[in-house]
Chains A and B, each alone.
Chain A
């Protein structure tokens, strides 16, 4: 990628179940504080879920909130916070040169289920079906709501990439910046999936829905007694720019996008494939011009399913041999699986490591599954290390989509 423009992160905004800013989120990751609620899921009763409590009215009128979608509000909140973090002088930005690229696992399930429930109260007469349905459920909805709220007239769309979507949004943005399609990109991943019972029912009937009497322990990747996914909502959106542009305006550079890969298993709709995951990570390293030893943090995708965690560990064990300085962690143990937002949030929580040299742990491991034992796994307590120069962010999804994104500390060769 040396011949292409270098792409950097110059701002980010997020909402996670345990934090509505990077500072709050990071503090809780280092303090080992999970936050998972118990919610009443339509038709299904009470289940653990990660719920965000950001103030949507900070950036939206109440009518916008009412007419839009939950994920639209998440997207607007994260984008506006990212803008503030970036230091961009918004009034002077050419809005036609700004793009919005948001990764989503799914979209429209929440709104469709709500309307099916609504008309069920009226004898299933479709004349009671809301005229807001189509603008709420078109696949570009979250990104489109951002453009309307912020007056952005450049391109916007979502990238449907199952649970690899957070990385996919960032990769799409980096590519569009390299192509010169836009000068500034708002990119990342978002999810409102806790509001659709279909996701819960699907995972439950697949035997993959996590549960525990203490909801904060329900999501426990790599633990021997893990029993599945805790579904969460959230979002993380970044401001990306070409390095030269960022330097020209004197921006604070958070990190540099170093390399990436997206590939496909082409084997099974739900079962991951460690061989393809291995290939994905190795290709991302190659494109970044790095060796496995250059990676100091691997942010794992592991969702606490029995097989999926083992498969990812198999892939990592294959790639990261003889890498004593490579530490491995997991964010879903704190906040559950934020679906389309997962990859983007998990990267965000690790970025401060470039400055503070702390690696947040994966928590909720009472008994480590021997099949998930990895030399660099940081368990239950944060770890101070000598340096963090590069982070590998893994995100994998259904239909066999794998993504590996590498970001590096700016200024490090």
Chain B
């Protein structure tokens, strides 16, 4: 799994939890909350969907790592690799 694959995983989750958002122009280096209408409950949804769909755990102390698509990819890549993905 590549970083681009992980970005797509996160975008697919956001598409489910924030279906009114236009994700076509999301900038990977910009904080998600600065370009999309996402609140703290939505980020908890992202954490939950990573857990349910991919078996990935994100401890509360690491939630900040999910700020942007780029930071998601950097943070989640070793976790996906550890899962053999």
Contact = CB atoms under 8 A, between A and B. Distances in A.
A4 interface: no
Contacts of B41: 67, 131-132
Interface string B5-17: 0000000000001
A131 B18 contact: no
Contacts of A127: 51
A131 B48 CA distance: 9
Interface secondary structure of A, over-half rule: helix
Nearest to A129: B48
B44 A62 contact: no
A63 B18 CA distance: 5
A66 interface: yes
A128 interface: yes
Interface in A209-245: none
Interface residues of B, number: 11
A66 B17 contact: yes
Interface in A124-151: 127-128, 130-132
A128 B45 CA distance: 11
B20 interface: yes
A127 B48 CA distance: 9
A132 to B, nearest CB: 7
Interface in B10-46: 17-20, 37, 41, 44-45
Contact of A63 (B19, B48, B51, B52): B19
B29 to A, nearest CB: 24
A138 to B, nearest CB: 15
Contacts, number: 22
A62 B20 contact: yes
Given A131-B41, A132-B41, A66 B48 contact: no
Nearest to B41: A131
B34 to A, nearest CB: 18
Contact of B19 (A66, A122, A130, A131): A66
B20 A128 contact: no
A58 interface: no
A347 B43 CA distance: 44
Nearest to B52: A128
B18 to A, nearest CB: 5
B23 to A, nearest CB: 13
A63 B52 CA distance: 20
A61 B20 contact: yes
Nearest to A61: B20
Interface string A69-90: 0000000000000000000000
9 contacts: A62-B19, A63-B19, A63-B37, A66-B17, A66-B19, A122-B52, A127-B51, A128-B48, A131-B44
Given A62-B19, A128-B51, A131-B44, 18 more contacts: A61-B20, A62-B20, A63-B17, A63-B18, A63-B19, A63-B37, A66-B17, A66-B19, A67-B41, A122-B52, A127-B51, A128-B48, A128-B52, A130-B48, A131-B41, A131-B45, A131-B48, A132-B41
Interface of A: 61-63, 66-67, 122, 127-128, 130-132
Question: Which 8 pairs across A and B sit closest by C-beta, in order of nearness?
Answer: A62-B19, A61-B20, A131-B44, A62-B20, A63-B20, A63-B18, A63-B19, A128-B52
